[in-house]
Chains A and B, each alone.
Chain A
């Protein structure tokens, strides 16, 4: 595996930078990507120094992913401020989200930390192409195809080389051992669809009315009820499932949209560790 990706979640009582530190300490080659969703809850100087510390510990293996709801200006400001802090500049900056006054870091980052965006909104996708080092895309396959094109526009706008940028797709994946395991895929698909903004559904050519009942049932009865409403075509659009070989082939097929890396995303399978192992073996056989 090339990279381990971790997403910050407020439900788990684990602190993402500390978890990532431990993974970096326990491994030597694999990259570690952390998706920080608390961009606006943490001080920007704290994100800068936490990332710098992890980059040092991992000797350049860290990927920092900023995941926040728009406004676009906040993402642009955050990426710009992080880079200015890491170069050792004395920074003074004021916006409604960030405030620094004659601030400078006393540590010296010994490794560059790439900044990625996790984005779904078209404006943020374009911004990712303009200023980020990579982007994480998640959603139905047709959406991913169109999202890549929007990010490409951002790259072209700034005359950036396609090769200096990484496109990554995060796909919910389920290794099916028994027929009943499809239920897992349905539940994950229901969660993804219920959470999908209108713009994502529109880009994926999925009619809003097809998803509206899923959202309603999810809110009223939870994921189990909603999962029963995920039709077969929707399931195939949102999740990748099947035997390890089928899953590997399906993930590999995302290459045709311009995806450089795919993330084998949760829930993995009935037995997650076994499923991940089988998936890795199948991927190796394929490559």
Chain B
């Protein structure tokens, strides 16, 4: 495969044991991945502590924290975590802010239906950046975005991690961000992923669930734009009524997997990466269930261009 100027990351969900997560991160570093991203969600373990455990057992792999929701964590708590981590382990950390999983946040009493939530993100970013700068800590701050307003707001960040996987959706999203004046601004994607050498039904089932979560959380304007609104209506109603995502996912059409996730045989990944490189993507986070085991992480690493 020809050289591709993209950073590759694997996203980890912090519901396994700390030892399991750290073990996967050590393997990701050994396999030459550039980043690990440690997720943060109310039912999972605490992201900054996991990041510390990972940093203490790895040497150079960069560690992303997030998506961190300023609706759940106060900006000063986010910045002080990063300052503490950087003092202990050096400048290896980046953060991604965003609204977060609305369904999970509502379970812990967080109101996600704020008007102008993008403005809330901007204010949080400014506070965090100011605090980091005062402490002399240089940390890249990404915005996790999906809808047009959040995408537009990402211009004030150091980069945007878009919750899309299909090239046509990515192109649409990039157009919502552009024009960006800054040269150091990065476009990235963070999507459910399953890049495989040997297809495993369990991984595919989990991919379907992860894709359904992303699609059902997408703003209506996005679902309308890509003609998913009607096809997802019943699943959305069931999900909002409290049905478990495992059963809701069965009602989600397979096109959702094709559009909202990176799902491909490892030998076919290169053409997809080329397409994304041409669109200007410089950072790809292969999300759940790519992190299912060290084997699935190895399958991904084997499919990536050698550098």
Contact B84 A43 (CB under 8 A): no
Which residues of A from 33 to 58 have beta carbons under 8 Å from B?
A: 38, 41-46, 49-50, 52-54, 56-57
Contact A42 B109 (CB under 8 A): no
Q: What is the interface of chain B mostly: helix, strand, loop, or mixed? A: helix
Given contacts A13-B80, A18-B81, contact A101 B106 (CB under 8 A): yes
Contact A14 B84 (CB under 8 A): yes
User: What residues on B are CB-neighbors of A107 within 8 Å?
Assistant: 14-17, 43-45
User: What residues on A are CB-neighbors of B14 within 8 Å?
Assistant: 53, 107
CB B5 to nearest CB in A, in angstroms, measures 33
B107 at the binding interface (Cβ < 8 Å): yes
User: What residues on A are CB-neighbors of B106 within 8 Å?
Assistant: 101
B247 at the binding interface (Cβ < 8 Å): no
Which residues of B from 21 to 57 have beta carbons under 8 Å from A?
A: 42-46, 48-50, 52-53, 56
User: What residues on B are CB-neighbors of A10 within 8 Å?
Assistant: 76
Given contacts A14-B84, A52-B45, A57-B49, contact A46 B74 (CB under 8 A): no
Contact B72 A43 (CB under 8 A): yes
B77 at the binding interface (Cβ < 8 Å): yes
CB A87 to nearest CB in B, in angstroms, measures 14
Contact A53 B18 (CB under 8 A): yes
Contact A49 B44 (CB under 8 A): yes
Q: Interface size class for chain B?
A: 35 or more
User: What residues on B are CB-neighbors of A102 within 8 Å?
Assistant: 107, 242
Report the separation of the CA atoms of residues A100 and B105 in the bound assembly, to the nearest whole angstrom: 10
Known contacts A19-B84, A41-B74, A100-B107, then 18 further A-B pairs from the complex at CB < 8 Å, ordered by chain A residue: A13-B84, A13-B135, A15-B80, A18-B84, A25-B53, A42-B73, A42-B77, A43-B109, A46-B73, A50-B49, A52-B46, A53-B14, A53-B50, A56-B17, A56-B18, A57-B49, A100-B108, A106-B43
User: Which A residues fall within an 8 A CB radius of B?
Assistant: 10, 12-15, 17-19, 21-22, 25, 38, 41-46, 49-50, 52-54, 56-57, 98-107, 110
User: Which B residues fall within an 8 A CB radius of A?
Assistant: 14-19, 42-46, 48-50, 52-53, 56, 72-74, 76-77, 79-81, 83-85, 88, 106-110, 131, 135, 242
23 A-B contacts (beta carbon < 8 Å): A10-B76, A13-B79, A13-B80, A15-B80, A17-B81, A18-B48, A18-B49, A21-B48, A25-B52, A45-B42, A45-B108, A46-B72, A49-B45, A50-B49, A52-B45, A53-B50, A54-B49, A56-B18, A99-B109, A102-B107, A102-B242, A105-B43, A107-B44
